[in-house]
Amino acid sequence: MSDVNVQRLKGLSPIARAALVQRSEADLSFFLEKVEPIIEAVRTEGDEALVHFGREFDKAEPLTKDALKATEADFDEAFALVENEVIEAIRFGIDNIRSFHEEQAPEPMWLKEIRPGAFAGDRFTPISSVALYVPRGKGSFPSVTMMTSVPGVVAGVPDLAIVTPPGPDGKVDAATLVAARIAGVETVYKVGGAQAVAAVALGTETVKKAQKIVGPGSPWVVAAKRLLAGVIDPGLPAGPSESIILTDDTVHGGLAAMDLLIEAEHGPDSSAWLVTDSERVVEQALEALPDLWRRMTEQRVEFSRTVLTGTSGGIVLAESMDDACAFVNEYAPEHLEILSTKPFEYLGEIRNAAEILLGPHTPVSIANFALGPNAVLPTSMGATTYGPLSVTDFLRRSSVGYVTAKGYPDLAKAAGTLAEYEGFSSHAVAVSALRQTYLKG
């Protein structure tokens, strides 16, 4: 497998090393230019533009303005079409995802007595409306529906709506509708891509305007979120899939190769690296890849080959596991597997990773579909400052303060002193003796 991209960290120039951490959406200039007229069309033409772009980009010729929103009949048909085994797998995953996010949810309010008679804390309330983006271009993703819907339902958002591209038949993927209903979301719009972001940001005759949008998408979606960030909260940066399989000498290289292909098969714009200090692991991984590709569908083989033979994926051979961990932190991956029989030995060295999966029995597949933690994760080095999608992404936090007559004097004295120093006379007057005059009536 000499065509697989294999890089040795030792001796790489700073430029060559920097190239290893580049993502497909690092330069969005092309997409930003193309997306602007799409946004403007949605702004001025509303539903008409959504139908036009659905037919142009998604080849959904049967799509009409009257059919932009999924109906009760669409949901019923979906449950009839999807096999019971798939429905049960969706229920299983949603049960685990709900259990995890219910545990994650903060208390509605907390107060602490900061000083005698002075209390401060936080209050959490759900955002009024959130759009959930579910991609479809390179496959069908009921799992994304599960991951975006459940935390929103747990948070108590009153207006949750899914936007997802229609298929050539003008319909929503059936399993996506099944997952939406089981999770507790009933509003689904048949619109995807940049036009979907524009629709929920600006509103159309059919699509209700939302305050926030969450969910992963193509560079087109990422570009639209960036351009509309002043109109709608774009949520965490979630673009094309990326992963690092950090592997030591305690496991077989074939296992590493198998897990390397998980995210590589998402699409040609994905990023996937096997990072190890073991020559044996590298050799075994390269030997295993041909057999693994024979077990995959033709399209997914093409996607993963493109990734692993290009510049955004392959194998990185480090001098040591310390060097390997340093590269992981530099890369800040969306998904990180620590593929080792002793994964906790390396966990303390990892600072930048959105998701950390420990040990040989925790492949990305399990986390993506069934374990419970959210699989909507920051990409393109977003893991340096963002975490996974969570219940708190669907909540707004308000600070709460309550000062009693007992606690007031000391706080008023300090506040008045600082107000006068900063030159804010009205601030100072508000905590002066005049307040006590008014309080006494």
CB-CB contact of 325 with 246 (8 Å): yes
CB-CB contact of 157 with 130 (8 Å): yes
d(CA 432, CA 429): 5
Q: Which of 25, 334, 337, 355 is catalytic?
A: 334
Residue ranges with strand state E in 324-433: 335-339, 355-358, 395-403
Q: Which of 242, 263, 266, 335 is catalytic?
A: 335
Task: Report which of 217, 191, 176 is spatially closest to residue 55, judged by C-alpha positions.
Answer: 191
d(CA 401, CA 241): 42
What tokens were used for 62?
Answer: 């049967």
CB-CB contact of 166 with 203 (8 Å): no
Task: Report which of 115, 104, 107, 178 is spatially closest to residue 141, judged by C-alpha positions.
Answer: 178
CB-CB contact of 197 with 133 (8 Å): yes
Decide if 334 is catalytic. yes
Residues 6+ apart with CB under 8 A from 326: none
Decide if 335 is catalytic. yes
Residues taking part in catalysis: 334-335
